[in-house]
Amino acid sequence: MSFLFKDIIFIPLIAICTLLFVYQFADPFIDYLSKKSLGKKDDVIKYMKLMTGKADEKKITLMMLLMSFGLGSMFFLLLWPNFVMGLVFGGAITIVGWTIPLILVKALYEKRCDQFVDQLVDGLTIMSNGIKSQTNVAQTMERVIEIMGNPLRSEFEQVLTQHQLGQSFEDALLDLGNRIPRPDVQMLVTSINILKETGGDLSQTFDSIVYTIRERQKLEKKIQALTAMGRFQGLVVTLIPFVLALVFFIADPNLMIPMFTTTLGLFLIFIMLSLQVIGGFLIRKIVTIKV
């Protein structure tokens, strides 16, 4: 009878507490998930549009859903009936699945911006020679388009296309600066727009920008040489646990099987992977020096 009385009291009490908890924290939790998922999708679409000028939102959304909730659900089912570890690993894979596409797309975008700046040295040299032969900036850009490859060619083509469709040349250059947010590009855009209004020697300005870019690139290469050992050490430290696990598995599989079949083993693997990610991130921050 006492047990029945306790059930009558405590079960509704637990239900009421659960209801109050969900009511209090459901909206912030849903907003957080929306920001971490759909927010990253919006960033992926933004970078895709900056690189290609277009993006299929439905395909990007489907891809990110498959890489996040799809892979997370698969890991959850693989670890069933271990509900706790399935939930932990499935949740972790889901979070990583939402993050990886943004990391990859952003890396491609950054690489494209770097390629543009590298090509800008030769492009500005061509433009400087064209200015000296009494041609305007638009005509020198057409000459660059004929000689240079992508991404410089496609970006200059877009500037000229926007100008031909009625947009002012200054605004088209500002859009170029927004698509390629690099100090060298901003300096180029600002120099052209100011000198077109006030007058001045554009060829000398282009030569100065070329000299600045080349000196910065020399400094970046020197820094890369000095930090090469740190990057290599970070790679080695990151790979050592996986190499040792492979060696132990080949030497004695029975020694490693409990790591993948027991709750404690799976928990230790999760902790190890978390520490690997944190350590790799910290090493990358240490050896990355902005110029």
CA distances from 272 to 65, 268, 279 (A): 26, 6, 10
d(C-alpha 2, C-alpha 218), whole Å = 82
Measured between alpha carbons, how far apart are the two ends of the chain, in Å?
76
Alpha helix (H) residue ranges in the chain: 2-52, 57-65, 71-78, 83-132, 137-147, 152-164, 169-179, 183-198, 202-251, 253-261, 263-287
CA distances from 76 to 33, 37, 102, 261 (A): 19, 19, 23, 14
If one counts every other C-beta atom within 10 angstroms of the C-beta of residue 24, the result is 10
d(C-alpha 86, C-alpha 94), whole Å = 12
Looking at residue 21, what is its pLDDT?
Answer: 57
57: Cβ–Cβ under 8 A, 6 or more apart, which residues?
45
d(C-alpha 284, C-alpha 142), whole Å = 40
Q: What is the pTM of this model?
A: 0.68
Looking at residue 5, what is its pLDDT?
Answer: 47
Looking at residue 2, what is its pLDDT?
Answer: 47
Q: Going residue by residue through the chain, which has 291 residues, state the pLDDT in tens, using 9 for 90 and above.
A: 444 444 555 556 665 666 565 555 555 655 555 565 555 777 888 888 888 777 777 777 777 777 777 777 777 777 677 766 677 777 777 777 777 888 888 888 989 988 888 888 888 888 888 888 777 878 888 888 888 888 888 888 888 888 888 888 888 888 888 888 888 888 888 888 887 777 767 778 888 888 888 888 788 788 878 777 777 877 888 888 888 888 888 888 888 788 777 778 878 888 888 888 788 778 777 777 665
CA distances from 81 to 57, 75, 78, 86, 263 (A): 36, 12, 9, 8, 11
